[in-house]
Amino acid sequence: MENFKDKVVWITGASSGIGEALAMAFAKEGAKLVLTARRQDELERVKKSTGLPDGSVLILPMDVTEFENAESAATQVISRFERIDIMVHNAGVSQRSYIRDTSLEVYQQLMNVDFFSTVALTKAVLPYMMQQKSGHFIVMSSVAGKIGTIMRSGYNAAKHALHGFFDSLRAEGYPDNIKVTTICPGYIRTNISVNALNESGGKFGKMDSNQENGIPADECAQRILKAVANDKKEIYIGGFQEVAAIYIKRFLPNLLFDQVRKNIPE
């Protein structure tokens, strides 16, 4: 079982939700943190909440879709801590709009945030992990990475893409002791639906009832740490309905497809 004490953990999307909860959980385990999001003031708040000394936390504000900055960001982390042990790809945005209404630019934005940003940062971090002969990527996918649902077409596509890319990385990285744990959350109590993109790229601005009644983010974070410590390759976190849907798709796909088309969002 992996011990996180003094491990250098870089978390994107660290200013709220699951990212913030992971920062707290890793801090309790004695890890050193790199916290990335766009809002520096919120990152400072999270840093303070961890209770870690200044020397154990690096605030690294950035927009992950500015791909050209990925390598320089990785260099800053190495300059500060001399290694990167765990890369948590948590930054992301969801969607609430029908295909017929959604502009191509919204699809491009979804792919940039949810997929291409992880590729850019992975390529920036990977050489250091290969050099140190160790590393672990935690990839925040979703149940949507397994099942396509209504009003989430672009989000579903981006999350499906993550599985293909990181399954390949898991295989390619094996000789260098580089690991991948893909996380598939269902309904977690965060603001993901509030911040989701609508058909024109604005904020959806509403809390889904399923999200509001979902699993607390701190409980989700604890399950993630346990999975990573035990080198799980892929895990599902959610209520019975979401997790069961993954297995129904595998064994009874027609039944699942019928249920999805009937499940019109509120």
The domain that contains 106 carries what CATH number? 3.40.50.720
Report the pLDDT value the prediction gives residue 266, as an integer from 0 to 100.
Answer: 53
Q: What residue numbers bound the domain in which 60 lies?
A: 8-240
pTM, rounded to two decimals: 0.95
Instruction: Report percent pLDDT > 90 for the chain.
Output: 88
Q: Are 13 and 92 in contact (CB under 8 A)?
A: yes
1 has pLDDT over 60? no
Nearest to 207 by CA among 220, 186, 192, 218: 192
Nearest to 161 by CA among 178, 174, 144: 144
Give CA angle at 94 (250, 40), nearest 5°: 135
State pLDDT tens for residues 33-88.
999 999 999 999 999 999 999 999 999 999 999 999 999 999 999 999 999 999 99
Q: Are 142 and 18 in contact (CB under 8 A)?
A: no
Helix, strand, coil shares, percent, the chain, to 5: 50, 15, 30
Q: From its phi and psi, is residue 73 left (phi > 0), alpha (psi between -120 and 50) or beta?
A: alpha
At residue 198, the 3 state secondary structure works out as coil
Residue 263 in any domain: the answer is no
Q: Are 207 and 230 in contact (CB under 8 A)?
A: no
Residue count of the chain, please give it: 266
Give CA angle at 225 (219, 229), nearest 5°: 150
Q: Structurally, how many domains does the chain consist of?
A: 1
Residue 110 in any domain: the answer is yes
Residue 232 in any domain: the answer is yes
Per DSSP, which regions of 161-265 are E strands?
Answer: 178-185, 188-189, 215-216, 234-237
- Between strands 135-140 and 188-189, the pairing is unpaired
Residue 146 in any domain: the answer is yes
- 155, 174, 187, 236: the catalytic one is 155
| 148-166 burial code (b ≥16 CB/10 A, e <16) | bbebbbbbbbbbbbbbebb
Report the pLDDT value the prediction gives residue 241, as an integer from 0 to 100.
Answer: 87
Long-range CB contacts for residues 50-56, cutoff 8 Å, separation at least 24: 50/23, 50/24, 51/27, 52/27, 56/32
- The mean pLDDT of 215-226, rounded to a whole number, is 97
State pLDDT tens for residues 134-188.
999 999 999 999 999 999 999 999 999 999 999 999 999 999 999 999 999 999 9
The answer to whether residue 155 is catalytic is: yes
Q: Are 145 and 156 in contact (CB under 8 A)?
A: yes
Residue 50 in any domain: the answer is yes
Give CA angle at 52 (48, 57), nearest 5°: 85
Residue 250 in any domain: the answer is no
Residue 233 in any domain: the answer is yes
Using only C-alpha atoms, the chain has a radius of gyration, in whole angstroms, of 18
Nearest to 139 by CA among 60, 74, 228, 50: 228
